[in-house]
Amino acid sequence: MNVITPFEGIGARVRRKEDLRFLSGRGQYTDDINRPGQAHAWILRSQHAHARILSIDTAVAAAMPGVVAIFTSADLTAIGGIPCGWQIHNKDGTPMAEPKHPVLAEGKVRHVGDPVAVVIAETRTQARDAGEAIQVEFEVLSGVSGTTAALDPAAPRVHDDVTGNLCYDWHIGDKAVTDAAFAQAAHRVVFETTNNRLVPNAMEPRCAVGDYDTTTGEHTLFTTSQNPHVIRLLMGAFVLNIPESKLRVVAPDVGGGFGSKIYHYAEEAIVTWAAAKLGRAVKWTSDRTEAFVSDAHGRDHVTRAELALDKEGTFLGLRVHTQANMGAYLSTFAPCVPTYLYATLLAGVYATPAIYAEVKAVFTHTVPVDAYRGAGRPEATYLLERLVDVAAKQCGFDKLALRRRNFIATDAFPYQTPVALEYDSGDYFSTLDQALETAGWADFEARRTEAAGRGRLRGIGISTYLEACGIAPSAVVGSLGARAGLYEVGTIRVHPTGSITVLTGSHSHGQGHETTFAQLVCDKLGVPISQVDIVHGDTAKVPFGMGTYGSRSLAVGGSAMDKAMDKIITKGKRIAAHLMEASVEDIEFDRGTFRVAGTDKTKALAEISLAAYVPHNYPHDELEPGLEETAFYDPKNFTYPGGCHIAEVEIEKETGRVTLINFTAVDDVGRVINPMIVEGQVQGGIAQGVGQALLENCIYDEEGQLLSGSMMDYAMPRADDLAPVSVATHTTLCTHNPLGVKGCGEVGAIGSPPAVINAVVDALRDYGVSHVEMPATAPKIWSIINGKSL
């Protein structure tokens, strides 16, 4: 066997290959790209939440220095609206309301930040100067920002043709069976909550550069995207009518996405279209202020849930009514987030036999809301894990015992939930036990007593969660309304002397794919990771792939690579058999070496690849030259990571300030390829989850003015808001993908918020508090402690 030392294969704690580039400032981000002759775009955005555009006068602006062109919707009549990638059907089978999402506002603006006009000038400053000189006459209309308020028949309408601002009224589960379960229940627990709206705030703001080759008619878009092929498909086919062969989309190094860079945005279409129109490249770069009003937001649910339990605490049924804020327009995947990524997760880790959920999606005069790290699963997890704690308290059960009583048994897999999903594997008892041990759960009361001596209320909270990753079987999502496939593609290109280039349809925007994927190749083909290069993010280089979101890269993209490697091995064996004059059945392969079974006759992979590309002595009748294979992998199911998170907090009684003291995570993410990268992903996710639980809140006034429109008012978590985080894994393998992997990108953001809030509520146990809404800010807690209304 060909053993590479130090070991760099599956399970090795290898340092990230890409970090040298990133940490030395040599990453190539979209804004680092400048094309010859490039002009700059600045977008005039609405300051109003809702207004009619009476007139737009660009005459003064157009005459200003450096201005190349000014466009409004009147110039875009030949192009389409921004498409939505998922269609949900109402309870009655009719399709959801899908009002037009114009690239530039047509007649009306519907949220603060809605683009009205674009100025293209020689410099960015000139474009902005001219943009500020555009005279727009608005008739300001009243607006509505909250979901419940928007559903009021008297509320202002976001779209004239959408009655009651209702996008859809959808449901899942068996209502009759669930109602029957409630009829027999010994206990019924009601829980109402709002899941706070979040602004993703990836470190790198969005950017798009459009270019056009007048000699070939080829368009190129460089963009901050998590899925360049999806952008090419949506923008080329639905917005600009450009054939795929003439449209290249490149997403180079991308500095964080968290979902917000999945979607097709107006600015991408604008720069691509304008570059062709003007015959020169056009660049647009968002600043942070603009990001607050133009990047899709996350979460924003209002929910009422009811749990039915029998006398002993066994869950009998769950009923959930949720209103989900879509914002003013449907962002690319918005409709599926509060439905198939949320309500299908409402069984969680529990064997609840009957579940029924209704979801109303609502238009409001706010920035569109779409998937944000976790996408639907954090909302479901938060709801369930708070509900279980509330039930334990209300009915007098121990919260751990109640969880254990209702966990899906470890031998019950595959487990069919009443809300469509079939879980393949998991072991919720072990992750719970391991986390309790690490967190010192048993000794908590002593720590609480000690804290009380310092005027502090200490609390501990737990969350036992499950999520669904690796989206998803194309046929299944297609039947549920997806307008795209959700397979992934991988190409393994073995070069003549044995080094390897991998082309993957996944996209890395911070996750470390260049390392993890290289480790997969190293493990299977025996090539050191220094000789394995991962290429992604360019539709001109990589076959049509679906990109990265939903923690799918390894589970789906990695599986595609694995299949492609199988094909390499199969072909390599045939070449080896020819070269070693053996029968192909007798050839064994292990980590880079082909061997005639039972002999010492071997050929290294590099010898086989050389023979494949210099095919002098080669089985030409049977095989084509070359050693390059592509595989498309369509998953058979979602993967189901899960685990247990425990948070410990202290509350300063005098001010209400909550401090996170420590955090314990034990996650089952399936097989771990690189433990260090998994830890980093989980820690980052927990930082975001703690941010949602304690700090972050995107606040609109009732009419739709954004009150938390900058970092001065939107509290992002910082290093000193966090605490030591202990991350461990406990593995059960995914049973249906070749790698046994489940995904780790979102578990942190999914599992942590309820653990933190459960800890806050526990800290307040002497104050008769049953719930604290996120974020648990100091004034909120102080009001609770002092019995004041909020």
Shortest distance (Å) from residue 70 CB to another protein: 19
Contacts of 88 by beta carbon, 8 Å cutoff, 6+ apart: 95, 96, 167, 168, 170, 335, 336, 339, 361, 481
Q: Does 716 bind another protein (CB under 8 A)?
A: yes
Q: Report which DSSP code applies to 704.
A: S
- Minimum CB separation from another protein for residue 657, in Å? 7
Nearer of residues 361 and 698 to another protein, judged by Cβ: 698
β 315-327/354-363 pair status: parallel
The residue among 728, 747, 515 whose CA lies nearest residue 641 is 747
Q: Is the CB of 35 or the CB of 657 nearer to another protein?
A: 657
Residue 655 interacts with another protein (CB under 8 A): yes or no:
yes
Angstrom distance (rounded) from CA 392 to CA 386: 10
User: In the set 251, 266, 451, 695, which binds another protein (CB under 8 A)?
Assistant: 695
Number of residues that bind another protein (CB under 8 A): 26
Q: Which of 748, 757, 751 is nearest to 648 (CA)?
A: 757
In whole angstroms, give the CA distance from residue 697 to residue 700: 10
Q: Is 51 helix (H, G, I), strand (E, B) or coil?
A: strand
Strands (DSSP E) contained in 154-243 are 166-173, 187-198, 207-213, 218-223
In angstroms, give the least distance from the CB of 398 to another protein.
34
CA separation for the pair 708, 694 (Å, rounded): 15
Closest distance of CB 263 from another protein, Å: 26
Closest distance between another protein and the C-beta of residue 285, in Å? 14
Which of these segments, 275-283, 594-602, 615-623, 780-788, binds another protein (CB under 8 A)?
A: 780-788
Distance CA(372)–CA(261), nearest Å, equals: 10
What is the nearest approach in angstroms of another protein to the Cβ of residue 692? 13
Q: Which stretch binds another protein (CB under 8 A): 34-42, 495-503, 604-612, 650-658?
A: 650-658
Closer to another protein at the Cβ: 53 or 781? 781
Helix (H), strand (E), coil (C) string for 473-537: CHHHHHHCCECCCCCEEEEEEECCCCCEEEEECCCCCCCCHHHHHHHHHHHHHCCCHHHEEEECC
Report if residue 499 touches another protein, rule: CB under 8 A: no
Site membership for another protein, residue 65 (CB under 8 A): no
- Of the pair 318, 687, the CB lying nearest another protein is at 687
Least CB distance to another protein at residue 124 (A) = 11
Amino acid at 783: S
Closest CA to 169 of 88, 84, 100: 88
d(CA 101, CA 235) in angstroms, rounded, equals: 13
Q: How many CA atoms lie within 13 A of 295 on its CB side?
A: 35
Decide if residue 705 touches another protein (CB under 8 A).
no
According to the binding rule CB under 8 A, does residue 715 interact with another protein?
yes
Which residue, 76 or 706, is less far from another protein as judged by CB?
A: 706
712 scored as a contact of another protein (CB under 8 A):
yes
Residue 322 CB, shortest distance to another protein, in Å, is 25
For residue 702, state whether it binds another protein (rule: CB under 8 A).
no
Interacting span for another protein (CB under 8 A) from 80-88, 451-459, 674-682, 773-781 = 773-781
Give min distance, CB of 701 to another protein, in A.
10
Q: Does 719 bind another protein (CB under 8 A)?
A: no
CA distances from residue 88 to 92, 199, 359 in whole angstroms, order as listed: 11, 25, 11
- The token duo for 659 is 């401090």
State in angstroms the smallest separation of the CB of 209 from another protein: 22
Query: Minimal distance in Å, beta carbon 306 to another protein?
Result: 31
**Shorter beta-carbon distance to another protein: residue 37 or 455:** 455
Residue 203 contacts another protein per CB under 8 A: no
Q: How far apart are CA 677 and CA 113, in angstroms?
A: 36
Binding mask 273-292 for another protein (x = CB under 8 A): ----------------x---
Q: Where are the alpha helices (DSSP H) in 249-345?
A: 266-278, 288-294
Q: Which is nearer to another protein, 54 or 707 (CB)?
A: 707
Closer CB to another protein, residue 19 or residue 713?
A: 713
707 touching another protein, by CB under 8 A: yes
Nearer to another protein, 149 or 237 (CB): 149
> Which residue(s) pair with 302 in the sheet?
194, 323
Scanning 141-149, 479-487, 704-712, 723-731 for contacts with another protein by CB under 8 A, the matching segment is: 704-712
For the chain, how big is the Rg over CA atoms in Å? 27
Q: Of 207, 251, 210, which is closest to residue 31 (Cα–Cα)?
A: 207
Please, which residue, 682 or 784, has the CB nearer to another protein? 784
Decide: is 60 part of the binding site for another protein (CB under 8 A).
Answer: no
CB of 463 to another protein, least distance (A): 23
Q: Tokens in use for 614?
A: 């210099």
Tell the smallest beta-carbon distance from residue 20 to another protein (Å): 25
CA 255 – CA 22 distance, rounded (Å): 10
Shortest reach from residue 629's CB to another protein, in Å: 50
CB–CB of 354/318 below 8 Å? yes
Minimum CB distance to another protein smaller for 140 or for 711: 711
Is 777 one of the binding residues for another protein (CB under 8 A)?
A: yes
Is the CB of 530 or the CB of 655 nearer to another protein? 655
Find the shortest distance in angstroms from Cβ 61 to another protein.
16
Report whether 373 contacts 688 (CB < 8 A): yes
Which of 713, 765, 767, 770 forms a contact with another protein (CB under 8 A)? 713
Q: By CB under 8 A, what part of segment 107-146 binds another protein?
A: 125, 128-129, 132
The angle subtended at Cα 132 by Cα 127 and Cα 133, nearest 5°, is: 100
Token pair 């809030």 is at which residue?
A: 757
Binding-site ranges for another protein (CB under 8 A) = 125, 128-129, 132, 289, 654-655, 657, 695, 697, 699, 707-708, 711-716, 721, 777-779, 782-783, 788
